[in-house]
Structure 1
Amino acid sequence: MLHLFKNVDVERYRKEAAELLKMSLPMSLTYLLLMLPTLVSLGFCGQMGKEIGDGMELALHITTALGYIVLIGLSSAVDTLFPQIHGTGNVGEIGFVLQRGKALKIPF
């Protein structure tokens, strides 16, 4: 099995992994900072008692599952569509997709 990997350039893969980590770090930090107030609120309510902490945790899970995750999904979809539309050369379509994305986010 090891003879299959003799021609693999390990240094190239290491450089590519470092580049991917460098590009994904800002997005990961953004998501962490967006979730931080939720964790702080849960920590404070958890100090007030078991029932209050359990109720707060249930409320946070419901709002996260029904609201926040939907918004993250819609934002990620728009982030994916913009470069694809720009690559086709149809720049006017970007504004249309932006308006549709905002219209979908209004109810949330």
Structure 2
Amino acid sequence: MSCMILNTLEDSCATVRKKIFPHGYRTELKELLRIAWPIAIEGFLEYAILSVSLLFCGHLGKESLDGVQLANTTINVVGFSVIIGLTTAFDTLLSQIFGSHNKQDLCLILQKGILIMLLACIPIFAVFVNTEYLLILVGQNREVAKLSGQYVTIVIAGFPASVITHALMKYLQCQVRCV
């Protein structure tokens, strides 16, 4: 009797396992991980830049920590969210053009996209430069607003490189190349 129950249980488990993990899933999983791990590491390292500065400023005092956190929030909301939104257009356009095997149009779309994203940096930089005044205007502490403004102004120097990096990542991803 117990052998029949064990056999039935094993058969049920095998059926469930086959439904959850269909034949050939391991090769697909390996390919997915081969493509995805560099992108995941890049994303982690990109956001680690802001987190590491937050950790270091935590040792300087409460106002420094507040200023850096407010600056990071401003950078993410005003800067990176706009740029990431613009790069989502690359997912569709570049993949479609790559599928048509037209390498010249692929490069042209990349160049136009980078130009559009760099032009989008102009209003973003206007907000970044005026971050201190905007934060004071909405009622933030003057010292915290000053520290945030200084931090965000320094980030302006590296922001165009980050914009180009996002565009190039999408360019390589559409060709199923590891970034």
Normalising by the residue count of structure 1, what TM-score does the alignment of the two structures yield? 0.75
Secondary structure, in 3 states, of the residue corresponding to 1:69?
A: helix
In 2: Cα distance, 1:102 partner to 1:28 partner: 22
Secondary structure, in 3 states, of the residue corresponding to 1:93?
A: helix
Residue 105 (structure 2) pairs with residue 105 (structure 1): no
Alignment partner, residue 89 of structure 2: 77
Aligned pair count?
107
Q: Highest CA radius of gyration, 1 or 2?
A: 2
Q: Given residue 80 of structure 2, which amino acid in structure 1 is its aligned partner? A: Y
Q: 1:31 aligns with which of 43, 60, 70?
A: 43
User: Equivalent residues in 2 for 1:1-108 (5 A)?
Assistant: 5=16, 8=19, 10=21, 12-106=24-118, 107-108=120-121
CA-CA distance at 1:18 after TM superposition: 3.0
How big is each residue's C-alpha offset from its partner over 1:44-71, in whole Å with a ceiling of 9 and x where there is no partner?
1111112221121011011112112332
Q: What CA RMSD, in Å, does the superposition of the two structures yield over aligned residues?
A: 2.7
Relative CO higher for 1 or 2, CA cutoff 8 Å, sep ≥ 6? 2
In 2: Cα distance, 1:26 partner to 1:67 partner: 23
The sequence identity of aligned pairs, in percent, is: 35
In 1: Cα distance, 2:17 partner to 2:36 partner: 30
Q: Per the alignment, do residues 73 and 24 of structure 1 end up closer, same or farther by CA in structure 2, a change over 3 Å counting?
A: farther
Q: Given residue 103 of structure 1, which amino acid in structure 2 is its aligned partner? A: L
- Which runs of 5 or more residues in structure 1 are unaligned? none
CA-CA distance at 1:30 after TM superposition: 0.9
Q: Given residue 97 of structure 2, which amino acid in structure 1 is its aligned partner? A: I
